[in-house]
Structure 1
Amino acid sequence: MPGRSKNKQRSSTNAKPLITTPRGTIKPHKDFDEEAATGQAKKLHRALQKPVNMAVVISILTKYTVEERKYLEDVYNVQFDENLDAALRRETSANLQATLLALMQWENQFLASWTRRAMKGLGTDEKTLIEIFCGRSQAEVQNVVKAYQRMHGRSLEAELRSELSGDFRQLILGLVQLGRNEDELVGDNRARELAVELHAAGEARRGKDAAVFVRIFCETGCALLRRVFEIYPQVSAKANSIEKAIRSEFSGDMKTGLLTMVQCISDQPAYFAEKLYRAMRGLGTDDGALIRILVSRSEIDLENVKEKYQLNYGKSLAAAVADDTSGDYRKCLLAIIKSWA
């Protein structure tokens, strides 16, 4: 198990993060046409016959983007007697199966399924809901909202309203209502106004006004919010960072949700690096989080996440995953990470 690194670096909004171009580990192939898809479908079909060649299965399904995988799946299902989903379910199990099936889902459907799982049965998995809604862009949240409606025939907003309560419910509802204005101009005067408003609603009064935090965090564009977070210590009577202010005024899931938003708006790859670190530290592994993050970020910014993991924890993400997993499951995760790249 990966231990705590003495050199662990915590992100802070006091220092401006370096905004870099998002880079995934799985990239599209220009030459992936019907002929290529047919050839890969035949290889995949042969590999899924007894004795199963799982190395080939993993190699093919982690090489292509989800759009290419879905095309390959369509070709496979036309060419052969059984569909690919059924073949994967028959020949795999446990975490390997969960990872391969995740790779075969559109990202919005995959995250919508996890959202449903987080609310199903007794109790609610607030930690997963925070990662999905506080940890992702408005465009990604919008795709999950639409997919949830299509897949389950229910309004996600209505489901969340019935499952959650208090200030945390208002925060999550504010995010799924998709009211963020990303076209808002970034200027120091406007950023200072919002920082002053947050200070007045929290540190500067007895008893917080959570509605102000919800409105500003859910409706302000991310670029402007980054500047608000940078300016906040200048307006705080105690020169506190926005993170320290949130920790002093809020508790529980509301505190975690707001802090997650600050971290993701400031440095999203660092947030996912930390989530992966927490999924593997100590005894046991949170395989659900491990699979969910690696698969969902593989085409977006997993290369950036790898860099942040190495920087913040003094160990490569691939090495941490290799230490915490085994067998074909390990091989599949390492193929997604592209540990040889």
Structure 2
Amino acid sequence: MASVWVGNRGTIRDYPSFNASRDAEAIRKAIRGIGTDEKTLIDILTERSNAQRQLIAKEYLAASGKDLKDDLKSDLSGNLERVMVALVTPPAVFDAKQLKKSMKGTGTNENALIEILASRNSKQMKEVSQAYYKIYKKSLGDDISSETSGDFRKALLTLADGRRDDSLKVDEHLAKKDAQILYDAGEKRWGTDEDKFTDILCFRSIPQLKLTFDEYRNISKKNIEDSILSEVSGHFEDLLLAIVKCVNSTPAFLAERLHQSLKGAGTDEFTMNRIMVSRSEIDLLDIRAEYKKHYGCSLYSAIKSDTSGDYETMLLKICGGDD
């Protein structure tokens, strides 16, 4: 069964001569020895696909009676531990946990919510919602409802439900119609009809929206982004802009997020770790290309100048090379 979490533009692929029990044994030695052998852990975990890491975890449990995730947690610390644990977590579970983290405690991390929900497709979101319910015994929708409000909440709930059309077929007539509806709901009227924006931007397929945005430019002589900026505000605006960016290019959107996480004082590791791990088997090669194109330096060199130690080594191996 093809996984919805594996694309053909990842930096990490299945390891050719894979042997789960051999890897599990090597990891056990690396953890059990005097002082942890981080190099072995990094080499094995960054050179195996997520599906292979799940098999290693199974073998590890069978051989030691211990959960690999727990042993990594008790043996490592800080960002190195967080990335290692993320790597041995199934992708849907990882997303579910990231969503929970962004809603936990005081204040919600809207940026993380927006980034995950805007960049995942329907099939992925369905798996994330199932994983979320399994872990927290609460639906993702309920938690989003209690942490957000208004139009922002409504749009997030639509995305969390995985109701975006996944088909690749486009309908020109519909694109013209939708573009007109968006124009009438925003630019043309006094006050904005937010529901129309949510309905079209959260339900239509990505190729369909590309065409709609072209039509929108024809009708209004403006980019849809400019209209969103002038028509809506707050987190709802941030979410709609993120959706538009993902329609244009998800890798470019995520490259921008990585750039923001590396910019300024201190690194935003929460964002950095999430994007590097969650896209490592999907489109990290494209994200790297977009990074280089927009910011004039490679993602590899940006990570190098912003991180250090084993954490840096680990991220660079996931990054998979310099551009």
Short-chain TM bin: over 0.9
Quick one: structure 1 residues 22 and 305, their matched pair in 2 at CA, closer, same or farther if it must change by over 3 Å?
farther
Give the stretch that moved more between structures: 175-184 or 256-265.
175-184
Quick one: structure 1 residues 185 and 80, their matched pair in 2 at CA, closer, same or farther if it must change by over 3 Å?
closer
Pick the aligned partner of 2:307 from 321, 325, 328: 325
**Unmatched runs of 5 consecutive residues or more in structure 2:** 1-6
- Following the alignment from structure 1 to structure 2, what is the Cα–Cα distance between the partners of residues 262 and 61? 34
Quick one: structure 1 residues 150 and 81, their matched pair in 2 at CA, closer, same or farther if it must change by over 3 Å?
closer
Q: Which residue of 1 aligns with 2:34?
A: 50
Give the stretch that moved more between structures: 121-130 or 320-329.
121-130
- How much has 1:120 moved relative to structure 2? 1.5
- How much has 1:340 moved relative to structure 2? 6.0
Q: Which residue of 2 aligns with 1:242?
A: 224
User: Any residues of structure 2 matched to 1:47-86 within 5 Å, and which?
Assistant: 47-48=30-31, 49-86=33-70
Pick the aligned partner of 1:298 from 274, 280, 295: 280
**Residues 28-66 of structure 1, C-alpha deviation per residue, up to 9 Å, x if partnerless?**
13543xxx1111122212222113221111000111011
**Unmatched runs of 5 consecutive residues or more in structure 1:** 1-20
Contact 1:132 1:141 in 2 (8 A): no
- How much has 1:177 moved relative to structure 2? 2.6
Pick the aligned partner of 2:134 from 126, 130, 150: 150
- How much has 1:88 moved relative to structure 2? 1.1
* Alignment root-mean-square deviation, CA: 1.5
User: Any residues of structure 2 matched to 1:176-191 within 5 Å, and which?
Assistant: 176-183=160-167, 185-191=169-175
2:5 pairs with 1:23: no
User: Any residues of structure 2 matched to 1:177-326 within 5 Å, and which?
Assistant: 177-183=161-167, 185-236=169-220, 239-326=221-308
- Following the alignment from structure 1 to structure 2, what is the Cα–Cα distance between the partners of residues 181 and 306? 28
Q: Which residue of 2 aligns with 1:98?
A: 82
SS of residue paired to 1:208: coil
- Following the alignment from structure 2 to structure 1, what is the Cα–Cα distance between the partners of residues 112 and 313? 25
Pick the aligned partner of 2:95 from 78, 101, 111: 111
Q: TM-score, with normalisation over the residues of structure 2? A: 0.94
Q: Which residue of 2 aligns with 1:173?
A: 157
Q: Which residue of 2 aligns with 1:40?
A: 23
Contact 2:301 2:322 in 1 (8 A): no
Q: Which residue of 2 aligns with 1:15?
A: none
Matched residues, percent identical? 35
The count of residues paired between Structure 1 and Structure 2 equals 316
Amino acid of the residue matched to residue 202 of structure 2?
Answer: C
Q: Which residue of 1 aligns with 2:4?
A: none
Q: TM-score, with normalisation over the residues of structure 1? A: 0.89
- How much has 1:73 moved relative to structure 2? 1.1
